[in-house]
Amino acid sequence: MFQGNISARFKMIYGVVFLLIITSTVWLSYLSSKGSLEEQLKDTNIALLHLSQQKIEMILREIDTNTINFIQEPEVAFFLNGRYTNDDLRFNHFNVLNAKFKVLMNANSNISSFYLYSMQNKSLLTDSIFADEADFYDMNWLQPFQNMQRYQQWLGTRKITEISSGFQLDKNVMTLVRQFPLISNPQYRKGAIIVNVDERTVASLIADVDKQRPGQTLIVNEQGIIISSQNKAQLFQPLTRIEAAPGLEQLNGSGYTMKSTKEGSFTTFYVSSSYNGWKYISIVPNPEMNRPLQIIRNLLYAIAAGMFVVALVLVYAVSNYTFRPLERFFRSFAEKKTGRPADLTYLEKFFKQMMSDNESLQKQMHESLPALKWRLIMSLLMADKTNYNRMRKYLDLLGIQLYESCFVVLVIELDRQQDAVSPRDVYLFTYAISNVAEELVSGVCKGVSVEISDGSVAVIMSFEEDDPQGSQITALQVADLVKNYVSTHFKQTVTIGVGSPHVQLEGIHKSYQEALHALKYKLIMGINTVICIDDIAGNHNDKFYRIWAMGDSVVGVIRDTEQAKLEVQLRKLFDEMVASNVPPEMVKQMCIQLIMKSIKALSDKGLDSKEFLDPKENIYLQIDTCATVEDIQTYIAGFLRQLIVRTEEKREAKAGNDTVKQIVTYLEQHYMDSDLSLNLLAEKFNLSVPYLSKLFKESTETNFMDCLIRIRMEKAKELLLDPKLKIQSIAELVGYNNPQSFIRIFKKVTGQTPGEYRGNRLR
């Protein structure tokens, strides 16, 4: 009895002690891991939302690119400008356009339908019908187009009844509206191309990502209207109709916000698009989002319970061994204990379930690592993180190994991207170049690469020793290896900018900016080259400030296109260089800087810099091969002189265009004068008849008489809508003294007599 009491007290005391120790350990473990796991879950959700945005915008940008290529077809320009002079030309162009419609539809399966709109003729053309604006089945896009201040705009989802092959189909579509000409002010628009994308295409891309997480994902436009959702009843509804959704004013940039409702608490993740202004929103119930945390918590509870059971068993066994020494009674008790296998089986199931759930969580985190890695590296490059000490922990967590003594950044840019077969090819080349660069870097130091855009890759190289000169040489060697590898194995060329060495993580951003700056000199040094920031950095020593100031004077002469002063300023500049004993390498750098500043000065005046450079001419190589300063001066003088000549030619061409605009305005104001002729206009504008005819043809792609007839016929159409006016009076009002000539020309242009046109319009 005495022993039994001692045994019971022993079991109770040690049982309580083990319970406290195990419970405290498990609870502290849970609290220490909860915060970091919550942040990882939120970062993963935002990364998945970014993935949805990238997949959708890749399709939308591809459609936009196809639209730009299509709208530049000559037959499209004829239709949108309304330049058909006869029915045969119109019929032939419509046949060609119909075939090109089908090619575009087959090339991009994401396009549901599209049509051309001519503001001149107030008519539309699709792959199956040609109709006037008043009779067309879908004109809801017209008002946004008329109010549009940009060159293109993606409209939110709208409901249309589409007519295709004689059938009417109700669809929800997202619409791209792009103006023609592609780049012009709103008052000079001639028409537009309208491209419809089935909303279900976008919704299916969202569904692919939503399979990886709970909750629902929506797309809303800038007004807060839902334009895509798996639940079609939510389309066209304001976001505020969803009780769990926050207000639109809270969804700026990207991030997350939480809200509690009667149905529970929800976390809303959001990403804003700079491409079309849409917002990608994912609303996740907090219980569902925190399910991995609950699993871990339950597993820890199970482990604690298991450990407590084991502790009790050990305490019970020790107690029995100590206070019941009789072997017969101990053996009897032990046999009874080992005869109950169910307890051990249940414990084994707990451990198996724990391992299975842990593997599932590890897999989910592993799948989100690429997005987290990309985001972290971009933060280093863009310097949008200030807590670099905290960032080092994340680098280790994501497996990014970097030395901390010295950093050099390379920026690799794929040349001639426009020659690639498709945007997908550019994406694949970029991905391959990133992998090759990272592999070559790992052979000489520690580093990491990231795709900053389609066709561009940034590489961070880190070195163990603080040796800037040695690090720079190694970086240049790696850049040459990457360039040669891409040329040999991918049959492509790349241009690589190399920044200067910097210390600490803070220096990565500076080296990255220097690499981008060096890459701009591809215009001078040519493609398929490695450009180091040291190659183009000017030496602004106090001794040479006067020379740099004289170079700015030369740039001013170029800006003012004063060819007579150019030779004088250049002679002064080079005489000062010789007198100041400027080193040859610095002379070459100054000349390169002089060319770049001159081109930029002309670009600031609205001239395209590409027009001043021959892609086959490597300016850097031309300067580098000059043997004397006189040779460099001769080359620079010829190059800058040519810049002035081309600038003057552009100005003369622009002046010619202004003259043609004045002539067209005059025709629109005096079309009713029957004596209008090319001779009269030449006399009025002080031009010769042959020059005026040539200038008019080059600027408007038509001749004077066709332009005058078009203006008169458009005015005649307006006058025919007044039933009180006679045909003869209308003919005189638009400049024809002979009514028969007016009737004959009107029928040739419109395919109808004036009477038939009036009857059809007033019917």
Q: Quick one: DSSP state of residue 165? A: T
Q: Does this model's pTM top 0.85? A: no
pLDDT of residue 428: 83
Span 423-427, average pLDDT: 81
Beta carbons within 8 Å of 3's beta carbon, 6+ residues apart: 323, 324
Helix H, strand E, coil C: the string for 321-348 is HHHCCCHHHHHHHHHHHHCCCHHHHHHH
Homologous superfamily, domain 671-762: Homeodomain-like (1.10.10.60)
AA identity, residue 299: L
Q: What is the DSSP letter of 542?
A: G
Instruction: Tell the CATH topology of 369-535.
Output: Alpha-Beta Plaits (3.30.70)
User: Which tens digits make up the pLDDT trace of 516-544?
Assistant: 888 876 755 667 888 888 776 554 455 56
pLDDT tens per residue, range 544-589 = 667 777 777 787 777 777 777 778 888 888 888 777 767 777 777 7
Cis peptide before 341 (omega within 30 of 0): no
Report which secondary-structure segment, H or E, holds 173: strand 167-180
Q: Which own/partner contact pairs does 316-322 have at CB distance under 8 Å and 24+ positions apart? A: 316/11, 319/7, 319/10, 319/11, 320/7, 322/7, 322/10
C-alpha to C-alpha distance for 422 and 101, rounded to whole angstroms: 19
Cα dist. 581→388, 537, 544, 587, 594 in Å? 46, 19, 10, 10, 19
What does the alpha-carbon distance between residue 394 and residue 372 come to, in Å, rounded to a whole number?
9
In which residue are the tokens 């300016």 written?
A: 619
pLDDT band at 498 (very low <50, low <70, confident <90, very high): very high
Residue 320 pLDDT class (50, 70, 90 cuts): low
Domain spans in the chain, listed from the N-terminal domain onward = 1-325, 369-535, 540-653, 671-762
Buried/exposed code over 61-97 (b: 16+ C-beta within 10 A; e: otherwise): ebbbebbeebbeeebbbbbbbbbbeeeeebeebeeeb
Amino acid (1-letter code) at residue 113: S
Choose the weakest-confidence range: 366-370, 445-449, 480-484.
366-370
Mean pLDDT confidence for 153-180: 83
CA atoms of 200 and 172, how far apart (whole Å):
8
Least confidently predicted of 83-87, 88-92, 140-144, 681-685: 83-87
In this prediction, residue 377 has a pLDDT band, given cuts at 50, 70 and 90, of confident
Q: Which two tokens stand for residue 332?
A: 């009897």
The pLDDT assigned to 539 comes to: 46
DSSP string, 555-610: HHHHHTT-HHHHHHHHHHHHHHHHHTT--HHHHHHHHHHHHHHHHHHHHTTT--GG
Residue 412 pLDDT: 92
In the chain, the amino acid numbered 306 is G
Q: Map residue 120 onto helix, strand or coil.
A: coil
Q: Which tens digit of pLDDT belongs to each residue from 61-72?
A: 888 888 888 888
**Confidence at residue 1, expressed as pLDDT on a 0 to 100 scale:** 39
Distance CA 737, CA 171 (A): 53
Which tens digit of pLDDT belongs to each residue from 43-63? Answer: 888 888 888 888 888 888 888
Q: Which fold has domain 1-325?
A: Beta-Lactamase (3.30.450)
Tokens of 527: 């493609």
Give the whole-angstrom CA distance, residue 26 versus residue 630.
82
pLDDT tens-digit series, residues 98-121:
888 888 888 788 888 888 998 888
The two tokens of residue 44 are 């993963």
pLDDT of residue 347: 44
As a whole number of angstroms, the distance between CA 380 and CA 500 comes to: 16
Beta-bridge mates of residue 409: 460
**Average pLDDT of the segment spanning 381-410:** 75
Kindly indicate the confidence band of residue 188, based on its pLDDT and cuts at 50, 70 and 90: confident
User: Mean pLDDT throughout 155-167?
Assistant: 77
Strand partners, 407: 462, 502
Pairwise CA distance, residues 526 & 221, whole Å: 43
Q: Which of 363-367, 473-477, 621-625 has the highest mean pLDDT?
A: 473-477
Residue 452, classed as helix, strand or coil, is strand
CB 218 within 8 Å of CB 229: yes
Most trustworthy range by pLDDT among 367-381, 411-425, 677-691, 743-757: 743-757
DSSP state of 489: I
What is the reported pLDDT for 689? Answer: 80
Confidence check: pLDDT of 2 > 50: no
Looking at residue 671, what is its pLDDT? 86
